[in-house]
Amino acid sequence: MGCLKGNSENKAKPGRFLCAKCGAVSKKKKHLCKAEKIKPPKDGSSASH
């Protein structure tokens, strides 16, 4: 297991994971050394639903 070391394999989007150490983004938490979930933006009206 290693980290992507700054080479994001996915675009940063809510629900994906951002490495707090190197800043890489992945859908897979395990691909990162210090994964932190990207939160959806707080404000802005959530449309459909």
Nearer to Zn ion (CB atom), residue 6 or residue 41? 6
Q: Which is nearer to Zn ion, 22 or 38 (CB)?
A: 22
Q: Which residues bind Zn ion (CB under 5 A)?
A: 3, 19, 21-22, 33
DSSP 2: -
Q: Which DSSP letter does residue 23 get?
A: -
Minimum gap (Å) between residue 38 Cβ and Zn ion = 14
Q: Compute the distance between CA of residue 38 and CA of residue 23 in angstroms, rounded to an integer.
A: 11
Q: How far is the CB of 39 from Zn ion (least distance, A)?
A: 18
Residue 46 CA from chain centroid, whole number:
20
